Amino acid sequence: MSGIAQTLKPPYYAVIFTSERTEGTQGYGEMAEEMVKLASIQPGFLGVESAREGLGITVSYWESLEAIQKWKQNERHLIAQSKGKSEWYLRYKTRICKVERDYGFEATNTK
């Protein structure tokens, strides 16, 4: 889960979730871990990328808008969203995107 997500040929969809945390950490780590595991077994899930450095950015990739909508309504995920608002996040923004084009680079020499 810690590298660059291996996704399909576009088009596919991305959910960019950008957040600023509160000081409250109780239960956050476990819930975040559970959500990544649970998302990973949803139909249409393609991958996830995540980093936090003050600001947290998590991008999840999906085959369709329907898959994103279903994940949003997942029962455990609804609980996580609710606790996120009441305890863990000062603010966040969620952006639903259609990935129209992608390209990559991989170094061939050892640096």
Which positions touch a second copy (CB under 8 A)? 2-5, 7, 10, 14, 16, 18-20, 22-24, 49-57, 59, 84-85, 87, 89-107, 111
Q: Is 14 exposed, middle or buried (0-12, 13-18, 19+ CB in 10 A)?
A: buried
Q: How far is the CB of 59 from a second copy (least distance, A)?
A: 6
Q: How far is the CB of 38 from a second copy (least distance, A)?
A: 21
Residue nearer to a second copy on the CB measure, 34 or 49: 49
CA distance readout (Å), 6 to 10, 49, 78, 102: 12, 10, 27, 11
